[in-house]
Amino acid sequence: MIQALRVLNDAAGLAIGQERLTVCTVGHVDGIRLLSQQGLKRINLSISLNAANDSLRSEIMPINRRTDLAELQRALMAYKPRRNFALGVNYCLLPGINDTEADARAVAEFCAPVGRVLVNLIPYNPGTKPLTRAPEEAEVERFIDWLRAEGLPVRQRVTKGRDVMAACGQLGNPTARDARRALRTLQA
């Protein structure tokens, strides 16, 4: 990944400005530490949190079984590439799983010592083997309100790709994609 970032940023490569590049991780602490040693001051970093307690996060994100939240939090606290850096914290809202007021409070407690953050709230998109249903707009708004009441800046991600099983939380479904293409062909 480090080599890819260098090629993407290099004037002889794709010449993409560091500020336009974001590394998103599930919480590979060794990778976060390695990235911090590279001197790439303008690269953005975001993590997929999805739960702020170890038992739930381990259930929905197996990486947490190897690296718990306390260790991840320490690595993020140490990651300070520039003075105005803001960590992206991605949180996929799963109704009935991680959507309570206590969950919002736990997210705020996790983020507090990390420094400046922006929570990207992502409404879950059920795939072919869903964990739960998609959240209703009122549920998303309520969770955003709870996060903001805890002092967190929040942005709701726009849901795209749901109709072809390619949205967040979905791995894609060739059958659904083919059916959608066939429907478009018939409509044309």
Catalytic residues, by residue number, are: 168
39 contacts 2 by C-beta, under 8 angstroms = no
> What residues contact 81, with CB distance under 8 A and at least 6 apart?
36, 40, 41, 42, 43, 45
SS3 117: strand
Strands (E), the chain: 22-25, 44-48, 87-93, 117-123, 154-156
